[in-house]
A and B are shown apart, each in its own frame.
Chain A
């Protein structure tokens, strides 16, 4: 089953965040709780953990892209 993982709203006034790095490649297995990608905000770099386990099927954005909160970031193939 395919599951879309969305960009979290890291602060109340956040309108977008820079996806600065992918920590998993397409095809990699991912455990829930493992960091999947990094988003830079004003203060720090946030390593966003996967909320489900599965295989990373598709990275929907490239490193450096601005992504709005709520937008799908990755597609995970789950069991």
Chain B
């Protein structure tokens, strides 16, 4: 294992993690924090923040960068929307991020479960904002409409990596399809803030990063997240490099100069890490 750079150090408090894990366990909820083995879990759980992973913990795809378990997922849990709302209330969340494993087995890709969960949060947690971090739902516009009509404040879908690395890194997904998802959602409801993210450290060039930014801006994307790829196990897609904090600062400037409304760019920035800051950051610009 290559020695980790100084900036990849995180704090971990066992009691804080156990407390949040117990609450989530009692409500039979999954988080992407745990399933993705997120490096920020310790910090976020300590701050009573978590990103819910609805629709189970098993994914019908097998992307080479991702730690979520591939397998045959169970049918959606009808109690899950209410349980997520209950957990959001207990944790005192002001901004709830919902994500899912990709559910190619479901005709609607899980859209209805997203919509039900957004509505349950609206009903139980007044004033709380919601972000849906969705799969591409195979660019099924009827399914995307169901999510859009639930009107989350932020609709997030990650392109994950530059165009040239898509086949190698996420073979069952498609760069153009992801762009189409972002474009469709923005055109269908221009009041939605759209958001995407990508990883660096997979072997991409700076020029390809610039092209990615141009591509997602061209489909109306408002918010961009950029973080370091961290190899979950030696069997996952190989790490090409650790980008430095200075590199991330340069990417951030590049993205802001191009016209994104908010950019989170740091080694441990993740799609949902401090997601409320992005929402507030955009609103400050109004």
> Chain A interface (Cβ within 8 Å of chain B)?
8, 10-12, 33, 35, 38-49, 51
Contacts and interface: CB of A to CB of B under 8 A. Distances in A.
B8 A45 contact: yes
Nearest to B35: A12
Contacts of A49: 11-14
Given A11-B37, A12-B34, A44 B8 contact: yes
Nearest to B10: A44
B138 interface: no
Most A CB contacts (10 A, CB to CB) among B12, B17, B34 go to B12
17 contacts: A12-B34, A38-B9, A42-B1, A42-B230, A44-B8, A44-B268, A45-B9, A45-B10, A46-B10, A46-B11, A46-B12, A47-B10, A48-B12, A49-B11, A49-B13, A49-B14, A51-B13
- Give the bracket for the number of chain B residues in contact with chain A: 20 to 34
Interface in B1-59: 1, 4, 8-15, 17, 34, 37, 39, 42
Main SS class of interface, B: loop
Interface of B: 1, 4, 8-15, 17, 34, 37, 39, 42, 230-234, 268
The 9 A-B pairs at the shortest CB distance, nearest first, are namely: A43-B230, A44-B39, A46-B12, A8-B14, A49-B13, A44-B8, A45-B9, A45-B4, A11-B37
A35 B231 CA distance: 25
Contacts of A12: 34
A35 B11 contact: yes
Nearest to A43: B230
Given A43-B230, A43-B232, A45-B4, A8 B10 contact: no
Contacts of A47: 9-12
Contacts of B42: 46
